[in-house]
Chain A
Amino acid sequence: MDLLKDILYNTDKPWNQFYGWAHAGWANWGWPPFILDIIFQLCFAVIIAVVLILNALWIIYYDRKIAALFQIRKGPNRVGPLGLFQTIADTVKLLIKEDINPKAVDLAVFFLAPVFIFIPTFMVMLVIPFGRGLIPADLNIGILYVMAITGLSVIGILMAGWGSNSKYSLIGGLRSAVQLVSYEIPMMLVILTIVMMSGTLSMGGIVQAQAGYKWFWLPQIVGFILFLIAGNAEVNRAPFDLPEAESELVAGFNTEYSAMKFAFFYLAEYVNLFITSAIAATLFLGGWEGPLLPPVVWFFIKTYFVVTLLMWIRWTFPRLRVDHLMEFSWKYLIPIALLNMVVTAFVIKLV
């Protein structure tokens, strides 16, 4: 019983015990210890991948249900109880569909684009603290790593847009890249402010800095709102979904993609949504901290709170025009974020 409690609440303690025990056992075999470490890393990778995909399946279903709620209709309700298996059915359909490669595409670029988009989203999960001690790798540059790796997916989007050799894809890809680059700046400024307050770049450290329910969302309310706006833009969702604006661009950069490759894009979008929410929960809502319930549960509650917020925004606001989009970031978000940073710096120094 104590062990179960430890696993749920203080995951690092039993884990360290297990790790030491495993290494001791391994030493008897006479193999070099790094092979065991590599095996552990691989296990982590598999666990993360499974969690990632299951979570994405659920989040897609959740999004559709929320959408239905806002539009006063039922949403998915046929496959399985409450339509819960709808996404699984859709995924299976996508997987067994014919994979069409248009003739004029640049094949290598066209093939690699989904990979370039999906791998970074997977890599970011490495530094997200799911619970006490439940962080695959607590790098000392945690949040910088997140920003660097998420920046890589822009290349994937541009590759998809250019490799498809179609005007809709190209325009969608370019719009997306412009948007991602522009909204990365206010986002980074906000993150910098958080780093100033917590005095560390490590994700675990940022959660520690908020211990004792001194969550950053209240002192950083401006930053929190900016982060939500910029984060929403980073995942290309309404009202910032110009890259795939159906009514003008067919489907944006993934117009020419079908079957499995399209599934990658689709999945990546929802995984990104989850990651942005998870980072928001870590930076502003105290990460896994919370009373009674195990930390992991709290982490998911907070993350899904942010996910719901973003979905709410998505289904209530109309789409922006492309030049307004740029103006909004450069003329409003960035100055506000800078001002926020300067004020925070003074407050930290004076208080």
Chain B
Amino acid sequence: MVETLLFYVFAAAIVFTAVMMVLSPNIFHSAIYLALCLFGVAAIFAMLGSFFLAGLQVLIYIGAVVVLTIFVISLTRQVSGESDAQMGNILPAFLTAGLSTTLIILAVLKTDWNTMAGESVAALEKTNNVTLLGNQLISSFVLPFEVISVLLLAALIGAVVIVSKDAGENK
């Protein structure tokens, strides 16, 4: 009972912050809303018994992605001044978002999730899912795990190449 209630509280918070993030005319406020929204997602993860994912969600998405975003905003925007909102295209945006959301909700509701095979949440909660995740990463998912290291290397090289300042260049 309490869990259901909490779930709806968090879900409502996520939806509210997500909508506010899109609608807020101030881009800095949008970033803060984004942080709150991601925090709500982390809370949902925690409620599902996946504390590790919740921790990673906060660590990576809020601690790194949003911080980077806010950092860039701080470097490029004025506190007071013109609004960043592009309200000109709001109608098509609303239509697209509304239509796709309705479609997704309909599809998810029409699906009979219970009949499908799979492990239940209760069974997962009993295991130590950090250990489980670690073992999976180096057994079943070892290939993507290794490919990601190359991916990070490529991203690192790319970032260095694009950002580094060349001598005698005023950029």
Contact = CB atoms under 8 A, between A and B. Distances in A.
Contacts of A34: 2
A27 B55 CA distance: 35
A81 B68 CA distance: 48
Interface stretch (A69-77, A162-170, A230-238, A305-313): A162-170
B130 A140 contact: yes
B74 A165 contact: no
B23 interface: no
A105 B80 CA distance: 8
Contacts of B75: 174
A34 B4 CA distance: 14
Interface in B59-111: 59, 62-64, 66-67, 70-71, 73-75, 79-80
Contact of B32 (A154, A159, A170): A159
Contacts, number: 85
A163 B134 CA distance: 41
A152 B58 contact: yes
A158 B59 contact: no
A159 B26 CA distance: 13
A174 B74 contact: yes
A278 to B, nearest CB: 19
A158 B80 contact: no
B56 interface: yes
Contact of A108 (B29, B59, B62): B29
Interface size class of B (residues with CB under 8 A): 20 to 34
Contacts of A147: 55, 59, 63
B135 to A, nearest CB: 13
A163 B80 CA distance: 10
Contacts of A63: none
Given A158-B74, A162-B74, A177-B67, A151 B28 contact: no
B7 interface: no
A173 B67 CA distance: 12
A139 B51 contact: yes
Contacts of A139: 51
A177 B71 contact: yes
A141 interface: yes
Contacts of A163: 79
Interface string A167-185: 0001001100110010010
A104 B81 CA distance: 11
Contacts of A159: 32, 70
Contact of B128 (A140, A149, A162, A170): A140
29 contacts: A104-B80, A106-B26, A106-B79, A109-B29, A109-B32, A112-B32, A141-B52, A141-B55, A141-B130, A144-B52, A144-B55, A145-B51, A145-B55, A149-B58, A151-B64, A151-B67, A152-B63, A154-B63, A155-B32, A155-B62, A155-B70, A158-B70, A158-B71, A161-B74, A162-B28, A162-B74, A165-B79, A165-B80, A174-B75
Interface of A: 34, 104-106, 108-109, 112, 139-141, 144-145, 147-149, 151-152, 154-155, 158-159, 161-163, 165, 170, 173-174, 177-178, 181, 184, 201
Interface of B: 2, 26, 28-29, 32, 35, 51-52, 54-56, 58-59, 62-64, 66-67, 70-71, 73-75, 79-80, 128, 130
